[in-house]
Amino acid sequence: MRIGIIGGTGGMGEGFALRWCQQHNVIIGSRDAARATESAKNYSNIANTIYGNRFKASITGDENISLSSQSDILLLSIPYDTIIETCGKLKEVINDNCIVVSPIVPMTRTDAGFAYIPVEQNSKSAAELVADNLPPRTRILSAFHTISETKLKKVDMSLEADTFLCGDDHANVTILSRLVSEIKGLRPIYLGPLSMSYQAEILTPMILNAAKKNKLKNPGLKLVE
């Protein structure tokens, strides 16, 4: 599978690339092609050191718009306030059957602590905003909101965590669930249609507040039965 990461030069992008590059061709995206190539080179060096002969696929870099037309899965690894502008550019070039995944958390700091922007500003969840600006809705999914980039980048570490998935199309949810399960120790938990994504997104400011007040280091979430 070809996995394109819009904004792949950020911390989450590095983590996704290192976790998936053994089995998939990962394309790091940036607004700047040279920055994408440089990051891809750095991640490839890290992957070679870690995996050696087991690193069989590839990590390459490209400008965001250009990689979108080549990807089977597209991660939107960008800040919330850039969704409208970025999706506006991707809309014309992205393949009809490309699955788009939003890990985006709309978060801000207030005097009380980290807060969820849609509650503060009566705005849309990140996934809903993506769906509004990058139709059709069936291809938009959300996941990975509560995974810390620090742990994602430590590829030898088993995450021992769950991540909530939202999406309207069950076939696409199944594909993403498989991709989630390839990350060591990460369990996909289907939460419901895209309209429920706010319930997953809002967990991140909650976790960060709990971590800060209780001196916890990059905590994750796991459901227990």
C-alpha 186 chain-centroid distance: 14
Please report whether residue 11 would count as binding ligand NAP according to CB under 6 A: yes
Among 2, 25, 31, 187, binds ligand NAP (CB under 6 A): 31
Q: Which is nearer to ligand NAP, 157 or 170 (CB)?
A: 157
Q: Are 75 and 50 in contact (CB under 8 A)?
A: no
Cα 50 to Cα 27, 43, 148, 181, 197, distances in angstroms: 19, 10, 20, 20, 34
Q: Which is nearer to ligand NAP, 172 or 204 (CB)?
A: 204
Coil vs helix vs strand at 6: strand
Please report whether residue 145 would count as binding ligand NAP according to CB under 6 A: yes
Among 22, 58, 60, 82, binds ligand NAP (CB under 6 A): 82
Among 104, 159, 166, 202, binds ligand NAP (CB under 6 A): 104
**Cβ-count burial 112-137 (b if 16+ within 10 Å, e if not):** eebbbbbeeeeebbbbbbbbebbeeb
Please report whether residue 12 would count as binding ligand NAP according to CB under 6 A: yes
CB of 54 to ligand NAP, least distance (A): 25
CB of 6 to ligand NAP, least distance (A): 7
How many whole angstroms separate alpha carbon 16 and alpha carbon 25?
A: 12
Segment lying near ligand NAP (by CB under 6 A), choices 11-19, 156-164, 168-176, 187-195: 11-19
Please report whether residue 41 would count as binding ligand NAP according to CB under 6 A: no
Q: Where are the beta strands (DSSP E) in 41-167?
A: 58-63, 73-76, 99-102, 107-109, 114-116, 140-142, 161-167
Q: Are 167 and 173 in contact (CB under 8 A)?
A: yes
Segment lying near ligand NAP (by CB under 6 A), choices 101-109, 110-118, 169-177, 178-186: 101-109
Overall residue count recorded for the chain in this entry:
225
Please report whether residue 78 would count as binding ligand NAP according to CB under 6 A: yes
Please report whether residue 79 would count as binding ligand NAP according to CB under 6 A: yes
How many whole angstroms separate alpha carbon 62 and alpha carbon 110?
A: 36
Binders of ligand NAP: how many residues, by CB under 6 A? 25
CB of 69 to ligand NAP, least distance (A): 17
